[in-house]
Chain A
Amino acid sequence: MLKFSYLAMLIFTVFGSFWLELVLKTRVMKRAKRAALSILPIAPLYLIWDAYAISQGHWHFDPAQILGIFGPFKIPLEEFLFFLVVPLAAILTLEGVRSVKKHWPVGDEE
């Protein structure tokens, strides 16, 4: 079970944010193209940072607490998932706030 330690944090984040899609009808998942266009230019910058930090030893991961699947530059799979799950949670939260505060300007209104 220990190897799911990092993954558990990601699952927590998914459950902590994706209910907004159902309860507040944020419809972020229905707008997958817009979400992908938002995440794809940004996430790689952070993964480059991650790769650099790993190579320089700024941080490292307990091999016993991750799945042990690695992408390029020794970046654990969980880190790739982090930069998918966390940005989606950020977008869901923004849209969740908007669903409650309908009069607040966001900047994408017509």
Chain B
Amino acid sequence: MIYTDIALASVLAAVLFDLFGIRTSLLTKSVFWTSYAIILPFQLITNWWLTSRNIVMYNPDAIIGRRLAGAPIEDLLFGFSLILAIQGMWVYWGRIGIQRKK
């Protein structure tokens, strides 16, 4: 498996986790998409930093080769699944009453 395969699998896993696993259904909520829209430009900036300076380097055989702001397109899939899974867990614990209130 290359980066592309694992990144796609991580998105599929996070989506299934959100909708059918912990049933947080963040994918149907404005609060999720708004926060993602805020995070995305920052991901592009930090990805650009890491890749354009060659702090992180990718094996051309492990990616499909399309890039955005210097970083492999796969990074967007990785970021999306990470954010969805983490925010889902946060909402899940709040829902069952763990430190729900501020």
CB distance from A99 to the nearest CB of B (A): 9
Given A34-B93, A97-B38, A104-B31, A62-B54 contact (CB < 8 Å): yes
**Cα–Cα, bound, A12→B58 (Å):** 23
In this complex, how many residues of chain B approach chain A with their Cβ under 8 Å: the count is: 44
With a cutoff of 8 Å between Cβ atoms, the chain A residues found around residue B38 in the complex are 93, 96-97
Given A97-B35, A108-B100, A90-B87 contact (CB < 8 Å): yes
Chain A interface, >50% SS class: helix
Asked if B100 and A110 make an inter-chain contact with CB atoms under 8 angstroms apart, the answer reads yes
Interface 1/0s, chain B 39-72, versus A by CB < 8 A?
1001000100110011111110011000000000
Check B85 for interface membership: any CB of A closer than 8 A: yes
CB distance from B43 to the nearest CB of A (A): 9
Asked if A108 and B94 make an inter-chain contact with CB atoms under 8 angstroms apart, the answer reads yes
Asked if A59 and B59 make an inter-chain contact with CB atoms under 8 angstroms apart, the answer reads yes
Interface 1/0s, chain A 37-77, versus B by CB < 8 A?
11101100010010011001111111001100000000000
A58's contact among B26, B42, B62, B94, by CB below 8 Å, is which? B62
With a cutoff of 8 Å between Cβ atoms, the chain B residues found around residue A31 in the complex are 99, 102
B90's contact among A6, A13, A38, by CB below 8 Å, is which? A38
CB distance from A82 to the nearest CB of B (A): 9
Which B79-100 residues have C-beta < 8 A from chain A? 82-83, 85-87, 89-95, 98-100
Interface of B toward A, CB cutoff 8 Å: 2-3, 6, 10, 24-26, 29-32, 34-35, 38-39, 42, 46, 49-50, 53-59, 62-63, 82-83, 85-87, 89-95, 98-100, 102
A-B complex: 7 closest residue pairs judged by Cβ atoms = A108-B94, A38-B89, A58-B62, A34-B99, A31-B99, A27-B102, A87-B86
Q: Can you list 5 A-B pairs, Cβ within 8 angstroms, ordered by A?
A: A58-B59, A93-B38, A94-B32, A94-B91, A108-B100
